[in-house]
Amino acid sequence: MNADLVQLHEKARAALDPVHYDYYAGGVGDEVVLGENEAAFRRLALLPRVLRGRSTRAIGVDLPGGRLDLPVLIAPTAFHRLAHPDGELATARAAAAARTVLVSGVASTVAIADVVRAARAVDADAAVWFQLYPHPDEDVTECLVRRAERAGCTALVVTADSPVFGRHRRDAEHGFHDLPPGLAAENMRDLPGSPPGHVRDIEMSPLASWAHLDRLRELTSLPLWLKGVLHPRDAVLAVEHGVAGIVVSNHGGRQCDVAPAAVEALPAVVDAVAGRVPVVLDGGVRGGGDIALALALGAAAVGIGRPVLWGLAADGETGVARVLDILRDEFDHVLALCGGRHLADLTRDLVVTRGTGVLARCG
């Protein structure tokens, strides 16, 4: 892991209530996948190309829903005001200043309209995407979609890996079930079927299906991303159901503990999708080398979850900005060392498995 990010992580750990630190840091079950997400990157290496004589590099990428100045977006994570009083407002400002996308979650402690307003105050063109779970009550889902549209979000991200909540041992041991007084999942306030001012629970829908995704597609003209895909056949189905992009993710090791590391699932999904839509990878990305590996394996960009929470807890907006700066700088440096000028120079033939010298298998 990048040493500057390690320092920010340590500062965040010291600043956070240990219960909230464990909520952010923890994973499902025995936390096997949590560890594997990072460990799998350490098992991979990149073969640099030499004598390519390039002095500048282009690292921006256009995705359905917005342009990223660096191939890193902020994955949706819940409850930023547990980390810092400014919460998602700080995250949104830092993302906008770095000219990248914040995927703002339904489980946000600031309402989506205020999140987008904060981003646009920094950059009038800032792209904020809205993430939601298919709610069992489709009127609630529709209301959330309309709120995101009215707020000015430029894409919707539907998280599909959570038909039920993952069981997090650390939270159970702490008895952490509710937000502290004064904090709420603000997007869940004033929804259909609830009295004025009431904040509904975030619910998972064990019945969520491809038909729900189709209805969402009919509901909105926003580009629709599907997050939490690991099986290549689901990736094909997602394309057939009209998604604009796919996020290969195991939810940062917080849902299914027998799932593979996200980066290990990536090549097969990329092959199945065959360039029809972009594929983003999240889970365990902790430095410029990890970004380069994911892109070489076919990701258009990566998402980061916990590093942003550590930056936020350590230093608010400045801390999140620092995380993005560190990753931008280190990725650009790795690209230079690999003889790359464009993201397209990162190709799968550069990736080998450490200790074997064997080309990484394509799934």
Ligand X SMILES: CC(C)CC(=O)C(=O)O
Ligand Y SMILES: Cc1cc2nc3c(=O)[nH]c(=O)nc-3n(C[C@H](O)[C@H](O)[C@H](O)COP(=O)(O)O)c2cc1C
Q: Which range in 69-77, 117-125, 164-172, 323-331 contacts ligand Y by CB under 6 A?
A: 69-77
Q: According to CB under 6 A, which one of 134, 166, 223, 252 is a site residue for ligand Y?
A: 252
Residue numbers 205-244 binding ligand Y by CB under 6 A: 227
* Residue whose CB is less far from ligand Y, 49 or 170: 170
C-alpha span between 6 and 102 (Å, rounded): 22
Residue numbers 60-79 binding ligand X by CB under 6 A: 78
Phi, psi angles (nearest 5°) of residue 342: -115, 165
- Residues 300-331 as b or e (16 or more Cβ within 10 Å = b): bbbbbbbbbbbbbbbbbbebbbbbbbbbbebb
Structure tokens at 172: 């159970």
Start-to-end CA distance of the chain, whole Å, equals 25
CB burial class (10 A; 0-12, 13-18, 19+) of residue 34?
buried
Categorise residue 68: left if φ over 0, alpha if ψ from -120 to 50, beta otherwise.
beta
If one asks whether residue 107 binds ligand Y (CB under 6 A), the answer comes out as yes
> Is 282 labeled as ligand-binding?
yes
If one asks whether residue 141 binds ligand Y (CB under 6 A), the answer comes out as no
Phi, psi angles (nearest 5°) of residue 288: -60, -35
If one asks whether residue 135 binds ligand X (CB under 6 A), the answer comes out as no
Catalytic residue among 20, 251, 333, 342: 251
> Is 285 labeled as ligand-binding?
yes
* Residue whose CB is less far from ligand X, 239 or 262: 262
* Residue whose CB is less far from ligand X, 202 or 256: 202
> Is 137 labeled as ligand-binding?
no
Are 20 and 80 contacting, i.e. CB atoms less than 8 angstroms apart? no
To the query of whether residue 251 is one of the catalytic residues in this protein, the response is yes
Positions that interact with ligand Y (CB under 6 A) = 24, 37, 75-78, 105, 107, 131, 159, 227, 249, 251-252, 254, 282-285, 304-306
Write out the catalytic residue numbers: 251
Binding residues for glyoxylate: 23, 133, 251, 254
Residues at the contact surface with ligand X, assessed by CB under 6 A: 78, 107, 202, 251, 254
